[in-house]
Amino acid sequence: MSDRSNDSSTVIPPEPSKTSTFCAYEGMAPKLMRSVPYDHSVNIWALGILVFDMLCGGPPFTGDSKEEIRTKIQCGVIKYPKKMSSQCKTGIKALLTRNVQKRITLANLKTMDFFDSINLEKLEEGKFDSPPFIPELKSDDDVSHFDTCFTDLPPIESPCKKVRKDNDCCADGEVDDAFDGFDRNNRLPSKWKSNI
């Protein structure tokens, strides 16, 4: 980087340890909506969205347009399922606190009751206990443990294959298998509506 302040090639970040973005989706933290630099606290928010999505089957903020989703992210009320434990609600609420100064930190998150049954030191070392439930599978393609609301859906061909063929970035027909198994879809605002 050049020391000259009038050098147009000089890139000066807005603030150390912060970045900025312009994308929009259901997992975006409120601070991202204001187009201001942000730090790792947006990842804490994203973790809350992910946990909610995994437990409830959909994101906490949905809508028919990006603008509706943005409004809900910035000031909407999250509806929690009645069956969700109070520990779980407390954890998700701590993750999805809009005020960054009041949002839980990763260090404080690890001390919550919700994680009492997990040996986080072992987990950080890459050592895992057996999961509490290991399904017995009848075959490699057994889906009996998946909810029928998913297994009854008609199969849809992934648009990734067409995109992959049209935008193959490998030279001379070389197969790029570095990302095999990864989905290259860009997630658009969800049309899925929660019944919570």
Would you write out the chain's pLDDT as a tens digit for each of its 196 residues? Answer: 334 344 433 444 444 455 444 444 677 888 877 777 888 889 999 999 999 999 998 899 988 888 899 899 999 999 999 999 998 899 999 999 999 999 999 889 888 887 788 888 888 888 877 887 889 999 999 999 988 988 998 888 766 555 444 444 444 444 455 555 555 544 444 444 444 4
**What local confidence, expressed as pLDDT, does residue 66 receive?**
85
Contacts 24+ apart (CB under 8 A), 92-99: 92/48, 92/51, 92/52, 94/48, 95/44, 95/45, 95/47, 95/48, 95/51, 96/45, 96/48, 96/49, 96/52, 96/60, 98/30, 98/74
Residue ranges per domain, the chain? 30-130
**Encoded tokens for 159:** 């648009």
Angle between helix 41-56 and 86-95 (nearest 10): 140
Paired tokens of 40: 């790792």
Given its phi and psi angles, is residue 17 left (phi above 0), alpha (psi -120 to 50 degrees) or beta? left
Q: Is the dihedral of CA 45, 28, 15, 4 positive or negative?
A: positive
Q: Which fold has domain 30-130?
A: Transferase(Phosphotransferase); domain 1 (1.10.510)
Question: What are the distances in angstroms from CA 134 to CA 32, 75, 131, 150, 189?
Answer: 39, 39, 7, 20, 33
Q: And the tokens for 142?
A: 């057994």
Q: Output phi, psi for 48, to 5 deg.
A: -60, -40
